[in-house]
Amino acid sequence: MLGLGLILVAILSSVTSGLWGKYADAKIIKVFLLPGSIVHDLSHALVCLITGTTIKELNLFALNGSEIKYDKPKIPVLFDFLIVAAPIFGCAFFIFFISTILGNPIRFTQSINYEFHFSLYGLFCIVKYLYFAAVTTFCAFYKQFHITNIGHIFFLLTALVFSFSMAPKKEDIKFLLLGFFVLALTFFCLEKFGVRLSKYSWWRFCIHDLWAITVLSLCALVFLFSSTLVLMGIVAGYRSTIGRKGSGAGKGAKGKDEGAGNKGAANKSARR
């Protein structure tokens, strides 16, 4: 269930980032997203160092957005997944870290269900549970959020920026899908063979907090994606109605001026 949530976060953040990059290429937006971009690329860089992957270029403070370039990893599929997935966990950690510094201004009573059957019906239950978890988180945020509270505003901006910055590149999503599937299958097999990680308090703590941040990021990304689609619809409607009428009127006026000029030139030539 956690793997499915992380995959949805990666896909939503990638799609939203692609729309913003295509239709809203503004410097003010890139400055607003710069903290998340820095954490994104530093996460890539840290895992590159751990896996021994050569970093060819690392530019964190460019106005057009941070950027990192690295060579192919020594162990292709495994290290590719670790490097690509690093920003998801890095940005999730910063959401947790800043929330802790602020004293957890918005509290979520969200728990993860450890008992699901490995079947088609179990997959349906996971999707349903994920949906209700997102709705519950959104309602809890809506009830507790106060626009006059600076801590609440800062936490909201943190959730939006770092959730957006989890976005992988389109060509890297295949590594995430394969990697999270293998991880889910590995943990399932460990449970079947009696290795129950859920009995350890540190494991439950990590899974519980990562689950809460995953659901929070899903809510933030659904809000950003929906708002982006609404704004795109408004702009498209304006261009196809008011904008077209304005350009048509200008074109008609220009045509009249050109016609009047041609007519005057013809009369002048006839007089000669």
> Is 199 within 8 Å of 102 (Cβ atoms)?
no
Band (pLDDT 50/70/90 cuts) for residue 87 is very high
Residue 183 — φ and ψ, nearest 5°?
-65, -45
Spatial separation of the C-alpha atoms in residues 95 and 108, rounded to whole Å: 14
Spatial separation of the C-alpha atoms in residues 39 and 36, rounded to whole Å: 5
179-200 pLDDT per residue, tens? 888 888 888 788 778 887 877 8
Spatial separation of the C-alpha atoms in residues 121 and 12, rounded to whole Å: 25
236-262 pLDDT per residue, tens? 887 788 766 555 555 554 454 555 455
Kindly compute the dihedral angle of the four CA atoms of residues 206, 209, 210, 214, in this order, to the nearest 10 degrees.
170
Residue whose token pair is 């590719």: 80
Q: Give the domain ranges of the chain.
A: 2-236
pLDDT of residue 247: 55
> Is 107 within 8 Å of 155 (Cβ atoms)?
no
10 Å Cβ neighbour count for 13?
26
Band (pLDDT 50/70/90 cuts) for residue 88 is very high
Mean pLDDT of the chain: 81
